[in-house]
Amino acid sequence: MARIKSWAGVSAVALVAGLVAGAGPRATKADPQITDSLTLFGTPGILSMPSAEALEDGQISATLTSMGGQTRASFSFQLAPRITGSFRYSRIEDYYMDGEPLSDRSFDLKFQVLQEQPGKWWPAVAVGFQDFLGSGIYSGEYIVATKTVSPRLRFSAGLGWGGLARYGVIGSAGEREPYIPGDEGGTVNASSWFQGDVAAFGGLAFQASDRLTLKAEYSTAGYVDEAGDDLIDRKSPWNFGLDYKIRENAHLQAAYIGGSEVAVQLSFSTNPRKPAVGPGNETAPLPVAGRPARRSDPGAWDTAWASDPATKPGLRRVLGNAMAKEGLILEAMAYSGRSIELRYRNTRYIAEPQAMGRISRILTRALPASVETFSLVPVQNGVPGARVTLRRSDLEAFEHAGSAPVLAAAQITDTAAAPDPAGLEYLPGQYPRFTWSLSPYVALTAFDPESPLRGDVGLRLSGRYDLAPGWVLEGAITKKVFGNGGEDENPSTSVLPHVRSDAALYAAEGDPAIERLTLAYYGRPGPNLYSRLTVGMLESMFGGVSGELLWKPVDSRLALGGELNWVKQRDYDQLFSFREYEVVTGHVSAYYDFGNGYHGTLDVGRYLAGDWGATVALDREFDNGWRIGAYATVTDVSAEDFGEGSFDKGIRVTVPYSFFTGQPSKKTAGTTLRSLARDGGAKLSVNGRLYDTVRDTHRPELEDRWGRFWR
């Protein structure tokens, strides 16, 4: 049977996830189908076998497992209430490839098609795909049901195929493509799903105490080598184990597998919807200041103050100082006796509505009673975003009624669709403006078969010089302190241009390194349009020219963009010299906001190695700045030329600092877990791409995060 090698299968999964993300109620640990107990593969289940349970919505779990010469590190994420995704890296000491232990990367997906309801007879039911994008040694599918008998006891039973039907076979359906040692893997082998031998499995989990859970299962799972022999010495189909909760987010699990092997697992979890330090400890905002009744104090409603020349400097000073205490920088202002427009930079709050709520309350205290209309325009890279217009009377009326009535009354419009308000002036001293920072950095390369984890730790000195509105000169220099990122100094053997696979050479010779040094111009060519032009050292491996145009209406969930780059490869020392390789690369892109924090992206175009193809991605973003997503890129590079993994794919995670500190901050740290860094499907990494900047101030994103307006 031929393997199906198509990004269409991956995009279908992403689309399904987006469509069902909002379906069904938000589940919590009190619901019977929710668990925090994981299998030895790092997925919700018993020991070796899955269950129909899911993690709590949004939960992230990481595990490290050791069993019978197999070491597994896994990462699982509850993408939606009924969809669980997992990435796993395994090293099998007793399975040798080219004289080295087998290193395997695999992805899992589980869909909970039926939820268990308290007091009802039907169980939770799930369908799962194990190692459906890996090299295939763990590949298997299953259908499983789980029933809660009591608050402490749950039973599971199901049918397994492939790697979940190595023992106790009860029948067979069709033919299944066998695992081929040395296969590049990484392809969607849909023709073999639910084919071949099938076996029945089952098990139970008993919560003996608040911390201890006992498990037993009849396991049909097994993992064979190229000779067809099981990798563990199975003496019994029965597995027994216990799961001890060390603390709320940490578990230690031990198990006796197959009557011969002992397994140990340590797991950690967190949930982006539940900050590590609670709701946060930022300073409480000022309350809304009410106005006197017009009849009792008509002088307070007089508009003569607006025509007094002495008003402007005093108002600028009062508003600027009050906003600065909130991490908000007043850039420009225009006012009349009845209205005011502020253009500002938000340096503190990830959720733009939180910044707007704080500014609005400042305005109610600083402005005369005659001012009824507040227009707030956030500025990014010197370019104004959408204009959010609020009525002061709505703020006074709805301060204690929640944020929804304020959003319903707000007007959100495109600043480029109308002339600037009369009298709009930038505050003195806003441009030019220089800022800098010194911070640590961590650069990791994971899952290379020859060195599963390499990386460097060092310092990054960053600087930014805002020359004028829209003009930004910025750069960063890195200095490694310690690490092994440049341990492998041999050039890549890739048959493609080495646009990414020589990363170890860059890590070895780039110390110190100019990470980037660019001059960028951001503009508004017209209504609904945004532009960027960047020149210089665009990233650590390439320099050149990058141009981008984005169409994004303020009220639309859809955005369309195009990017064109001419770049030349930088030398390994990452200073000012270049190598001979140059390429024209670029993409046309479609972005869609599905709501509830889900964002989809489709890029089609030419990549750094000169290959043509497409990237599909789905990300889930939380109000507090967490962002987790998956992507897959397939181009006209063959699986053989691409190398192990067949095509580029991975999981990307962005974590906000505020989640752990409790202090509001826009700083984040991010990483991408990919099977391997290959040359096929490689995109240019340039700062300041428009969509993620622009959408923060548009209606769909504001609506998703408006709950923080009064915070």
What pLDDT, on the 0 to 100 scale, is given for residue 402? 87
Confidence of residue 200 (pLDDT cuts 50, 70, 90): very high
How far is residue 287 from each of residues 365, 367, 468, 487, measured CA to CA in Å?
A: 9, 14, 35, 57
Q: Residue for token digits 């703020």?
A: 395
Confidence of residue 30 (pLDDT cuts 50, 70, 90): low
List pLDDT tens digits, range 264-303: 999 999 998 887 776 667 788 889 999 999 888 888 899 9
Q: What is the C-alpha to C-alpha distance for residues 515 and 574, in angstroms, rounded to an integer?
A: 7
List pLDDT tens digits, range 525-536: 999 999 999 999
Average pLDDT value for residue range 385-395: 96
What pLDDT, on the 0 to 100 scale, is given for residue 269? 93
What pLDDT, on the 0 to 100 scale, is given for residue 13? 35
Q: What residues are paired with 161 via a beta bridge?
A: 198
Q: Residue for token digits 């400890």?
A: 281
Q: Is 519 helix (H, G, I), strand (E, B) or coil?
A: strand
Confidence of residue 335 (pLDDT cuts 50, 70, 90): very high
Q: What is the C-alpha to C-alpha distance for residues 72 and 253, in angstroms, rounded to an integer?
A: 14
Average pLDDT value for residue range 423-430: 89
Residue 553: phi, psi to the nearest 5? -65, 150
Domains of the chain: 34-177+189-270 (2.40.160.40), 298-423 (3.30.300), 515-700 (2.40.160)
Q: Which helix (H) or strand (E) holds 461?
A: strand 451-468
Confidence of residue 14 (pLDDT cuts 50, 70, 90): very low
Average pLDDT value for residue range 631-651: 83
Reading phi first (left if > 0) and then psi (alpha if -120 to 50, else beta), residue 402 is in: left
Residue 262 pLDDT greater than 90, yes or no: yes
List pLDDT tens digits, range 479-519: 999 887 766 656 778 899 999 988 888 988 999 999 999 99
Angle at 357 between CA 354 and CA 363, to 5 degrees: 145
Q: What is the C-alpha to C-alpha distance for residues 474 and 466, in angstroms, rounded to an integer?
A: 8
Confidence of residue 20 (pLDDT cuts 50, 70, 90): very low
List pLDDT tens digits, range 92-121: 877 666 667 777 788 899 999 999 887 788
What pLDDT, on the 0 to 100 scale, is given for residue 25? 44
SS (H, E, C) 251-304: EEEEEEECCCEEEEEEEEEECCCCCCCCCCCCCCCCCCCCCCCCCCCHHHHCCH
Read off the DSSP letter of residue 417: G
User: Above pLDDT 70, what percent of the chain?
Assistant: 89
How far is residue 291 from each of residues 294, 296, 299, 392, 711, measured CA to CA in Å?
A: 8, 11, 12, 10, 22
Residue 23 pLDDT greater than 60, yes or no: no
Average pLDDT value for residue range 250-254: 96
C-alpha atoms less than 13 angstroms from C-alpha of 331 in its C-beta half-sphere: 21
What pLDDT, on the 0 to 100 scale, is given for residue 441? 85
List pLDDT tens digits, range 682-709: 999 999 999 988 999 999 999 989 999 9
Higher confidence at residue 488 or residue 634?
Answer: 634
Residue 319 pLDDT greater than 90, yes or no: yes
How far is residue 135 from each of residues 104, 130, 386, 502, measured CA to CA in Å?
A: 7, 11, 47, 24
Average pLDDT over the chain, rounded to whole? Answer: 87
Structure-derived torsion over alpha carbons of residues 77, 79, 83, 85, reported in degrees to the nearest 10: -40
What pLDDT, on the 0 to 100 scale, is given for residue 185? 58
Residue 134 pLDDT greater than 60, yes or no: no
What pLDDT, on the 0 to 100 scale, is given for residue 52? 95
Q: What is the C-alpha to C-alpha distance for residues 465 and 381, in angstroms, rounded to an integer?
A: 11
